Structure 1
Amino acid sequence: MGKNRGFTLIELMVTIAVLAIIASIAAPSFSEMMSNRQLLSVTRVMSESLNEARGRAAVMKATVVVCPNKKSDDSEFTKKNCVDNTISGADSNKYILQNRVILVQVPKKVKVSSSDLGVVFTPTGAIQAKKTFTFCINGNSQSVEVSMLGALNQTKGTC
């Protein structure tokens, strides 16, 4: 008779138990890493959108508005809300049809903790006052600050 090769049931169960213990140790750090990636992603998208809006305003020689898709209370914020709340007396439909409104998609888990509802770029690519958008998830925050000339600055912090 030949020699049987293979694993016993006990050896397989011990191996699976060890893998389960290692996975349970790694899971919290993996979830934190995913949260941080979401935070960095939304900050990057906001920065790109602000740069795009600044360039679009200068090229079109027209006002362009950028807003996140939700407010600090997690209520939905549409393109129409964006124009109505940032430019008094403006025809929001005209802005939307002329592609002069950029709405930044913020994931559900990420909280917007900013008093600024949006940024209005003038036809020269500047803004009237410095604006800051802060995004939070799991106690970590990332802020995007827009200077009056349209320059961006990103900072990390806590919520």
Structure 2
Amino acid sequence: MQQIKINHGFTLIELMVTIAVMAIIATIAAPSFGDMIARQKLNTSTRDLMMAINQAKSQAALMKTTVALCLSRTNSDDDFTKEECAAAVIPEYTATNPGPPVVPVLTELKKEEVVKTRVISVKINSDVVISSTSASTLLFTDVGSANSSETFSFCKSGLQKSVSVTRLGIMSQTSGTC
């Protein structure tokens, strides 16, 4: 009587075919996975900006003073600090009293307080490109409205997201290509 052999594993041919099929699927999925990561980085930077805008509006109205919002980097500066933001956007940060001797309006201690409480920096992913026409700063008044209408634009892998802020502090988001 013949004994029937029961196969308990893969043959080498079956293994090679399985690996080939997996390789084909991986090459099809890789580009779309890369696009998904690019979209996610762009969406995260946009969402972080919108949350920071809401925080700055609320903080300005709550504290009854101006609050500056700045991107953590600009087209020309990869490390835009909160101090640089305050100097660029908040007028009294660099103001001086006239007359000899010329004295700054704010002491160093007051400047530190301004940076801590009245400057919000938005961290933008280093892989996301800030469009050359994009705003990099925004000042909110003591009632929570923006000092000017601005548009922040980000690009990543041909995709663009723009966040526009009106003088009333109303935000709108648009998508496109760059």
Normalising TM by the smaller chain, what interval?
A: over 0.9
Quick one: distance in 1 between partners of 2:171 and 2:83? 25
Aligned to 1:27: 30
Aligned to 1:67: 70
What RMSD in Å do the two structures reach over aligned CA positions?
Answer: 1.5
2:149–2:165 contact (8 Å) kept in structure 1? yes
When normalised by structure 2's length, the TM-score is 0.83
Distance 1:103 1:125, change over 3 A: same
Quick one: distance in 2 between partners of 1:13 and 1:106? 44
Q: Please say if 1:136 is aligned against 2:150.
A: no
Q: Choose the corresponding residue for 2:126, options 108, 112, 127.
A: 108
Aligned to 1:147: 166
Q: Give 1:128 shift.
A: 2.1
When normalised by structure 1's length, the TM-score is 0.92
**Which segments of 5 or more consecutive residues in structure 2 lack a partner in the other structure?**
94-105
Q: Per-residue CA shift, 1:85-115, capped at 9, x if unaligned?
A: 2234415533113x21111111110011144
| Structure of greater Rg | 2
1:74–1:111 contact (8 Å) kept in structure 2? no
Quick one: distance in 2 between partners of 1:157 and 1:4? 56
Q: Per-residue CA shift, 1:8-48, capped at 9, x if unaligned?
A: 01211110111011101110011101111111111111001
Count of residue correspondences: 158
- Percent identity over paired residues: 43
Amino acid at match of 1:108: S
Q: Choose the corresponding residue for 1:118, options 131, 137, 153.
A: 137
Quick one: distance in 1 between partners of 2:112 and 2:6? 80
